[in-house]
Amino acid sequence: MDWMVILNIAVLLVIIGLLVYMQRKHVSFTKRVFTGLGLGIVLGALLQWIYGSGSDTLALTTDWYSIVGRGYINFLMMIVVPLVMISIIQAITNLEKTAQLGKMASWIIGLLIVTTMVAALVGVAAATIFDLNAEEITAGQAEQDRAASLEERYSSDVEGVTTPQRILNFIPSNIFLDMTGARSTSVIAVVIFSIFVGVAVLGLRRKNPEQAETFTKMVNAVYGVVMRIVTLVLRLTPYGILALMANTVATTDFAGILQLGKFVLASYLALAIMFIIHLVLVGVFGLNPINYVRKVLPVLSFAFTSRSSAGTIPLNVSAQKNALGVEEGIANMSASFGATMGQNGCAGIYPAMLAVMIAPSVGIDPLTWEFLVPLVLIIGFSSFGIAGVGGGATFAALIVLSSMGLPVGLAGLLISIEAFIDMGRTALNVNGAMVTGTLTSRILGNFNSKVFNDKTAIEEAKSL
């Protein structure tokens, strides 16, 4: 192994040691997360400056760093299915009536879809303000290859698949297969199965209380174990963010970002506007937006670096429940649903921007009602089942563009900046899920304002 790679690994270990020292000195979880984030940015920038983005030394270094970064994401993905399943079953068994479940699900799904439609309009506005046009984008060989690959993927995965068929994919036919995360809709399938189990327990409670009580005790015991595992994994967050951010900055194509700077600026403007809309909604429902931001920042920083809405589910649930005061069942359901439907960034803003950019190239005025109304509706309903991992936005774009009769190759021409923009999109997706959970809990009257207003009720309250 190159001695420079060994030196780079040693530097990472030293920084990890610093974070461990901060934990032993009881430095708050939030401060440790942002320390990891900041040091990761500095480390990644130094690596790219010293070695260059195409060097073998940098490639080997980031490969070793991935043991910490991607390893942490794998740990999070490991606990997603058991957390979602057991949490929802436990939450439903604590309900008095199944009607409460219907109200909960209706508000969560409704808010997710409506905010995604609003995000689509924000994307349209951003693309119009910056006068984005698909014909202005220059395609290199990598971009052309990516565009061809997407055209092929469209033919195999999207073309001919109707909306009813996509909805049908949510229904689990083999729950053990979905427990492996084999499909993009696996999380929703696990949620649906868990809801059936929970509702069955409520029915059993009326007919055979003893059996229902035995099952409930088992669920509560398993839930306690799962939540302990979640706590253990979440303690690794500062280290995971450190390595993820270092790798991201070290391998970012800054030349591509500069070349497509107008699209990057338009994208982040749209993301910022949608984030402000989220905060306005929080304020409209009588909550302090600044307090909200302070409590969700550690979760959003992880979502930003990991580019995985699904991987952020454990952090999402924990923050909603322990920092925001959201009722436990709502926190679990909104985090789970928000990772696979109603993604404001990936399924809302991004496809809308691409559609507005492409439409003029095929002779369509994107600012007419005949174009905008179908676009917003298609974006809202097609946001069901979008995978909450890197690449989900591309799949969402394929569905929307093909449904609008537009060519899909443009998504391939943005390959050089895809990861950089996807970081912001993922953070917005996760924030949308957290806002949805907060508002739903507020609407249904089980929101804990005392926890929300308690400045010490943040992630470190769980000894992270």
Average pLDDT per 10 consecutive residues for the chain, totaling 464 residues: 86 94 86 88 90 85 91 83 81 69 87 94 93 65 49 51 68 84 74 86 87 89 85 85 87 68 89 96 94 91 83 87 89 84 87 89 86 90 62 72 73 64 90 95 92 73 47
Sign of the alpha-carbon torsion through 391, 393, 396, 401: negative
Structural domain boundaries in the chain = 3-462
The tokens for 238 are 């500062």
For residue 154, the model assigns a pLDDT of 47
What gap in Å lies between CA 297 and CA 309, rounded to an integer? Answer: 15
What gap in Å lies between CA 346 and CA 115, rounded to an integer? Answer: 12
What gap in Å lies between CA 321 and CA 300, rounded to an integer? Answer: 16
3-state SS track over the chain = CCHHHHHHHHHHHHHHHHHHHHHHCCCCHHHHHHHHHHHHHHHHHHHHHHHCCCCHHHHHHHHHHHHHHHHHHHHHHHHHHHHHHHHHHHHHHCCCCHHHHHHHHHHHHHHHHHHHHHHHHHHHHHHHHCCCCHHHCCCCHHHHHHHHHHHHHHHHHHCCCCHHHHHHCCCCCCHHHHCCCCCCCHHHHHHHHHHHHHHHHHHHHHHCHHHHHHHHHHHHHHHHHHHHHHHHHHCCHHHHHHHHHHHHHHHCCHHHHHHCHHHHHHHHHHHHHHHHHHHHHHHHCCCCHHHHHHHHHHHHHHHHHHCCCCCCHHHHHHHHHHHHCCCHHHHHHHHHHHCCCCCHHHHHHHHHHHHHHHHHHHCCCCCCHHHHHHHHHHHHHHCCCCCCCCCHHHHHHHHHHHHCCCCCCHHHHCHHHHHHHHHHHHHHHHHHHHHHHHHHHHHCCCCCHHHHHCCCCCHHHHCC
The tokens for 30 are 């939030």
Question: HSE (CB half, 13 Å, CA atoms) of 182?
Answer: 10
Q: Are residues 336 and 83 in contact, defined by beta-carbon separation less than 8 angstroms?
A: no
What gap in Å lies between CA 196 and CA 241, rounded to an integer? Answer: 36
The tokens for 121 are 């309009």
Closest by CA to 320, choosing from 181, 171, 448, is: 448
For residue 461, the model assigns a pLDDT of 41
Q: Are residues 151 and 408 in contact, defined by beta-carbon separation less than 8 angstroms?
A: yes
For residue 166, the model assigns a pLDDT of 65
For residue 268, the model assigns a pLDDT of 94
* CATH number of this structure's domain 3-462: 1.10.3860.10
In angstroms, what CA-CA distances link 162 with 165, 291, 398, 402?
5, 43, 13, 11
List all residues 6 or more positions away from 222 whose beta carbon is below 8 Å from its beta carbon: 86
pLDDT digits (tens, 9 = 90+) for 214-265: 998 998 898 888 878 878 887 888 898 899 889 888 887 666 666 677 888 9
In angstroms, what CA-CA distances link 193 with 81, 174, 197, 300?
11, 10, 6, 29
For residue 143, the model assigns a pLDDT of 45
